[in-house]
A = this chain, B = another copy of it.
Amino acid sequence: MKIINENRSQILIEALPYIQEYSGKIVVVKYGGNAMTNDNLKQKVMSDIVLLSTIGIKIVLVHGGGPEINVMLEKIGKESKFINGLRYTDKETMDIVQMVLCGKLNKDLVSLLQSHGGAALGLCGLDDRLIEAKQLSEELGLVGDITKINIRSVMTVLESGCIPVISTVASGENGETFNINADIAAARLAAELGAVNLILMTDVIGLLRDKNDESTLIHSVHVSEVPLLKKQEIISGGMIPKIDCCVEAVRRGVKKTNIIDGRIPHSILIELLTSEGAGTMIV
């Protein structure tokens, strides 16, 4: 038993330099994919977030919610119109997006964090005009392009000791509400909040040199390497917008960004508190 405890202590102690590195700093986590739909993984992410927050790291949780939006749209019999593979967001769809994101997922995450002992408070881009946007293109309806981030509410929530949980709808100039890509919103928030790290949780192991071989995982990419990797089609498909978000965040001053595999239990803890890291880092 003592031996086990000593191992246990050893592991805690090995986390010390990482805790010191992040103590009092802001880390933005974009939460989505399997880690959000699989209930077991979800519980683990929540306890990770609460642990990190309790030991003094200021976590800002930004969430998406595609699948639950689809379920709700189906429930009310709303058919989606697609333009070049992107969904057209009319007012009725936007209302459902807002309800599901800000009303259901956001507040459920707040509850869940609290049942793990944390204190949390849900915000959306409308609150205190946290995210301002304009229409991205007329074709896509109420899809927004971020024009400004007003961080006051997030800072207030962090200072009061709560974990801010953020839904990515945005406030238009004329009072309209826009739907915003959550990865992009997380990247912009990370930059404006002066975060030291942006973590994007995905359903892939990271960037692979050979898509079919997990052993070719690229652990670290410098932003200057990105154009070549795109040309070589190592960065391709769904990875392109993710990597672009990371590059954008780094360009705007975020020191480190990580694309991690949300399917691995406790991947956030592994990334932040161990020497190994998880997935691919863009610096």
- List the interface of chain A (C-beta within 8 A of B): 1-2, 5-17, 19-20, 23, 44, 47-48, 50-51, 54-56, 72, 75-76, 95, 98-104, 106-107, 110-112, 114-117, 119-124, 126-129, 152-153, 156-157, 160, 162, 169, 171, 174-175, 177, 264-266, 269-270, 273-274, 276
| Alpha-carbon distance between A100 and B100 when the two chains are bound, in angstroms | 9
User: A48 to B5, alpha carbons, bound, how many Å?
Assistant: 13
Q: Are B13 and A11 in contact (CB under 8 A)?
A: no
Q: Are A5 and B276 within 8 A (Cβ)?
A: yes
The residues of B that contact A15 with a CB separation of less than 8 Å are: 12, 51
Distance in angstroms between the alpha carbons of A129 and B14 in the assembled complex? 24
A23 touches B103 (CB 8 A): no
A-B contact pairs, 17 of them (CB 8 A): A1-B276, A5-B270, A7-B11, A9-B44, A15-B51, A16-B54, A16-B117, A56-B56, A102-B103, A102-B106, A107-B126, A107-B169, A107-B177, A114-B171, A114-B175, A115-B175, A121-B128
- Alpha-carbon distance between A98 and B12 when the two chains are bound, in angstroms: 34
Given the interface contacts A102-B107, A107-B98, does A16 sit within 8 Å of B121 by beta carbon? no
Number of chain copies forming the complex: 6
**CA separation between A20 and B266, bound complex, in Å?**
19
**CB-CB under 8 A for A12 and B12, given A19-B54, A114-B129, A120-B127:** yes
